[in-house]
């Protein structure tokens, strides 16, 4: 990978990290425990709990991606970076730009359902 390509990837990672950070902060604000004895009706209460579950799942997913991106950021200069961990072929740059934390090339990802 050229220096220029790495620089572009580093910028992409930086941008994705900061947008995820904002997303995580926004989600954290919305994630509020619902008191068991609150005076809400049962229906409203169960709706709120479902909504919290959805928000919580979104939070967990965003947090996972955040950590994968951080890892990618820390390993950008590794020789193996940008190579598929399955077949060792270089991962297409277009793929890395979209998903900088990719560990598999498109072929291996497809074959392994990743």
Sequential DSSP letters for 24-68? HHHHHHH--PPPTT-S--HHHHHHHHHHHHHHHHHHHHHHHHHHH
Query: In the complex with Zn ion, which residue's Cβ is closer, 48 or 108?
Result: 108
Instruction: State the minimum distance, in angstroms, from the CB of residue 90 to Zn ion.
Output: 9
Instruction: State the minimum distance, in angstroms, from the CB of residue 37 to Zn ion.
Output: 54
Query: In the complex with Zn ion, which residue's Cβ is closer, 24 or 106?
Result: 106
Q: List residues binding Zn ion (CB under 5 A).
A: 84, 86-87, 105, 108
Rg of the chain in Å (alpha carbons):
19
> Could you report how far apart the first and last alpha carbons of the chain are, in Å?
24
Instruction: State the minimum distance, in angstroms, from the CB of residue 4 to Zn ion.
Output: 24
């Amino acid at each position: 990978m050229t220096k220029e390509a790495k620089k572009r990837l580093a910028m992409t990672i930086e941008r994705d990290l900061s947008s995820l950070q904002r997303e995580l902060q926004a989600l954290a604000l919305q994630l509020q425990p619902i008191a068991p004895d609150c005076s809400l009706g049962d229906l409203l209460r169960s709706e709120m709990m479902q909504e919290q579950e959805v928000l919580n799942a979104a939070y967990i997913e965003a947090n996972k991606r955040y950590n994968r991106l951080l890892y990618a950021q820390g390993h950008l200069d590794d020789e193996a970076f940008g190579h598929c961990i399955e077949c060792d072929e270089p991962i297409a740059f277009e793929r890395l730009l979209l998903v900088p934390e990719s560990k598999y090339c498109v072929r291996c990802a497809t074959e392994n359902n990743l």
